[in-house]
Amino acid sequence: MFSSNHYSYLFLRLGLAAVFLWFGIDKFIHPNYWIDAWVPHWFQGFLGNIGVSSLTFIYFQGVFETAVGLSFLINLFIKLFSFLAAIFLIAVLLAIGFNEITVRDMGLLGAVLSLLFWPQRSRF
At 3 the pLDDT is 64
Report which residue type is found at 10. L
CA–CA separation, 38 vs 97, rounded Å?
A: 11
| AA letter at 51 | G
pTM for this prediction: 0.90
Interatomic CA distance for residues 76 and 5, integer angstroms: 18
- Mean pLDDT across the chain: 93
Give pLDDT tens digits for 5-16: 889 999 999 999
- Torsion sign, CA atoms 43, 46, 50, 51: positive
Q: How many CA atoms lie within 13 A of 46 on its CB side?
A: 7
Q: Is there a contact between 116 and 1 (Cβ–Cβ < 8 Å)? A: no
pLDDT in tens, 89-124: 999 999 888 888 889 999 999 999 999 999 875 555
